[in-house]
Amino acid sequence: MGFYTEVLFPWGMDLTMSGDAFSQLRKQVLSEAKGEVLEIGFGTGLNLPHYPPTVQHITTVDPNPGMNRYAKQQIAKSSIDVDRNVLSSEALPMADNRFDTVVSTWTLCSIKQIEKALSEVKRVLKHGGQFIFLEHGLSDEPNVQKWQHRLNPIQNVVGDGCHVNRDMRALIEACGFSSLNIENFYMNKAPKFIGYLYKGVAIK
């Protein structure tokens, strides 16, 4: 990992994704979290203030050690006990059927082997456990899709591996969850090419 990935990108992500619009969406999604929780793509810890009071402990994974400085600040302000791990979501060391809830927010866009990561998510979930997610991805508007495909190579560099044109619904459906509920909408005041969101819950 280089200077951009470990220093500039964590700073920029923490700054741009800590606004009110992001916080409101995080609070909505995380209200569903319960039991033993795993968060993939913990990043700078921006989800921590938005977990419900019933969540007292979470396990987190993120491959970028540069996120740690910001994450530590969030952890210090939180009453939640955090077991933080610097590792990839594509190969989780956790046992099968361990977690009641797996959380992913603005993370699946940047995982290289996304199918592998989603398979791991399903594996570590208990039967009846829930995968709750908030992701951006491929729009349902053809004209927006064209721009997403055109701009994806640029976003891949600027966003440190982020893709704006992944069909999150199709990717999650392919995992074979027993039920899947997804809501699609554009994030308020965000450019359409990067602001088309997938908010949902998948049950194992």
CA–CA gap between residue 10 and residue 28 (Å, rounded): 24
* Architecture of the CATH domain 3-203: 3-Layer(aba) Sandwich (3.40)
Q: What is the pLDDT along the chain (204 residues), one digit of tens a residue?
A: 788 899 998 899 999 999 999 999 999 999 999 999 999 999 999 999 999 999 999 999 999 999 988 999 999 999 999 999 999 999 999 999 999 999 999 999 999 999 999 999 999 999 999 999 999 999 999 999 999 999 999 999 999 999 999 999 999 999 999 999 999 999 998 999 999 999 999 999
How far from the centroid of its chain's Cα atoms is residue 150's Cα? 23
Within a 10 A sphere around the Cβ of 25, how many other Cβ atoms? 19
Strand order in the sheet with 81-85: 81-85, 57-61, 37-40, 99-105, 125-136, 196-203, 179-186
CA–CA gap between residue 69 and residue 109 (Å, rounded): 23
